[in-house]
């Protein structure tokens, strides 16, 4: 059994074969999928999708790229969506200083506001961080969320240690399988299994051998196999432990 803890099945990339992609994932042993809200519209679509499939859950959030557009009215609406029983986390939220599509101050303000929403509702956080690890940690240490996972981990060893020391979970994507991803594999080796979760971030970052094509939840198996090799354990054990982690973290039923 595997769980894809971070995918975007609502994205247009899946418009032509969404149902088929979901069926493929189930046939490959993906028991649950968590569809991540990255905007107001995306959060609404994620929730709609979760209502169609009992094994798909949703998160509600606003990606830092959207921070300039996510005003108080939109945040209030996200709060209403987040109260649905199929919503299992707030995210993805955080900071992205790589492309800076939104102003830094707006990113920070939105991040702090949505961490507050998560705390009010008792929901965990799905964190996006890209080249903003110092400010990400500063905000998280100030706001002290109940639970958080740093998704698509791309920081350095010091950031990994700080995240683990703060009690956060770590999730890696299929880019862990890339031939030149030596640093990511070293970080995965340092991450305790009881703090590790699997994700595809589909449609992005397909595994080695599929690069240039769309990623999808069925490919979690390639990531699990890579982690099994890194940890020197069976793929079945990787599936069992990471799935147990995800069930507890997201309170999956």
The Cα diameter of the chain in Å comes to 49
pLDDT of residue 253: 83
Q: How far apart are CA 218 and CA 241, in angstroms?
A: 18
∠ CA(204), CA(96), CA(131), 5° rounding?
95
pLDDT of residue 62: 97
Q: Per-residue pLDDT tens for 167-202?
A: 999 999 999 999 999 999 999 999 999 999 999 999
> Between helices 182-190 and 157-165, what is the axis angle to 10°?
30
Name the pTM for this structure.
0.97
Q: With 90 as the cut, is the pLDDT of residue 239 above it?
A: yes
Cβ neighbors of 88 (< 8 A, separation 6 or more) are 34, 57, 58, 59, 123, 124, 250, 251, 252
User: Taking all residues of the chain, what is their mean pLDDT, rounded to a whole number?
Assistant: 97
CATH architecture of 2-250: Alpha-Beta Barrel (3.20)
pLDDT of residue 146: 87
DSSP H helices, 28-71, are: 40-52
Average pLDDT over residues 236-249: 98
pLDDT of residue 99: 86
pLDDT of residue 80: 97
Q: How far apart are CA 177 and CA 225, in angstroms?
A: 9
Average pLDDT over residues 196-209: 98
- Could you state, in order of their start, the residue ranges of all structural domains in the chain? 2-250
Instruction: Provide the percentage of residues in the chain whose pLDDT is more than 90.
Output: 98
At 100, the pLDDT band (50, 70, 90 cuts) reads confident
pLDDT of residue 36: 98
Measured CA to CA in angstroms, residue 197 lies from 17, 116, 203 at distances of 26, 24, 18
Q: With 90 as the cut, is the pLDDT of residue 240 above it?
A: yes
Q: Per-residue pLDDT tens for 28-58?
A: 999 999 999 999 999 999 999 999 999 999 9
Q: With 90 as the cut, is the pLDDT of residue 163 above it?
A: yes
């Amino acid at each position: 059994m595997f769980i894809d803890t971070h995918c975007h099945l609502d994205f247009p990339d899946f418009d032509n074969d969404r149902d088929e992609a979901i069926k493929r994932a189930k046939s490959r042993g993906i028991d649950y999928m968590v569809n991540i809200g990255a905007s107001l519209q995306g959060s609404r679509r994620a929730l709609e999708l979760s209502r169609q499939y009992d094994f798909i859950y949703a998160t509600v959030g606003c990606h830092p790229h959207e921070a300039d557009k996510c005003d108080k009215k939109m945040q209030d609406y996200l709060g209403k969506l987040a109260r649905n029983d199929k919503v299992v986390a707030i995210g993805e939220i955080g900071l992205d200083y790589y492309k800076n599509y939104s102003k830094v101050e707006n990113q920070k303000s939105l991040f702090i506001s949505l961490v507050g929403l998560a705390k009010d509702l008792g929901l965990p956080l799905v964190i996006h961080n890209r080249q903003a690890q110092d400010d990400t940690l500063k905000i998280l240490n100030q706001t002290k969320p109940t639970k958080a996972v740093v998704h698509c981990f791309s920081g350095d060893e010091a950031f990994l240690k700080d995240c683990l020391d703060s009690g956060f979970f770590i999730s890696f994507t299929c880019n862990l399988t890339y031939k030149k991803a030596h640093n990511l594999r070293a970080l995965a080796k340092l991450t305790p299994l009881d703090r590790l979760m699997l994700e595809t971030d589909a449609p992005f970052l397909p595994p080695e051998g599929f690069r240039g094509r769309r990623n999808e939840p069925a490919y979690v198996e390639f990531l699990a196999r890579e982690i099994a090799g890194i940890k020197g354990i069976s793929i079945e054990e990787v599936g069992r432990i990471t799935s147990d982690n995800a069930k507890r973290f997201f309170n999956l039923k």
